[in-house]
Amino acid sequence: MFYLLKTTLNNDTTYSYLPVFLQVLLAVGLVIFIVVLTHLLGPKRKTTDKLQNFASGIESHGDARQPMAIKYFLTAILFVLFDVEVIFFYPYAVNFKELGWQGFWAVMMFVGFFLCGFTYIVMRGALKWED
Length, in residues, of the chain = 131
| 89 in a structural domain | yes
How many domains are there within the chain?
1
H or E, element range at 96: helix 96-124
Percent of the chain with pLDDT over 90: 24
| 48 in a structural domain | no
What pTM was estimated for this model as a whole? Answer: 0.44
| 90 in a structural domain | yes
| 28 in a structural domain | no
Q: C-alpha 22: how far from its chain's center?
A: 26
In this model, does residue 7 exceed pLDDT 90?
Answer: no
| 6 in a structural domain | no
| 44 in a structural domain | no
Q: Which domain holds residue 89?
A: 70-124
The confidence score (pLDDT) of residue 37 equals 95
Residue 10: CB partners within 8 Å, gap ≥ 6?
A: 16
- Compute the distance between CA of residue 34 and CA of residue 76 in angstroms, rounded to an integer: 37
Q: Which DSSP letter does residue 99 get?
A: H
| 91 in a structural domain | yes
Tens digits of residue pLDDT in 9-59: 455 677 788 889 999 999 999 999 999 999 999 878 888 877 777 677 676
| 46 in a structural domain | no
Tens digits of residue pLDDT in 68-113: 777 888 888 888 888 888 888 888 888 888 988 998 999 899 999 9
Tens digits of residue pLDDT in 51-70: 777 677 676 677 777 777 77
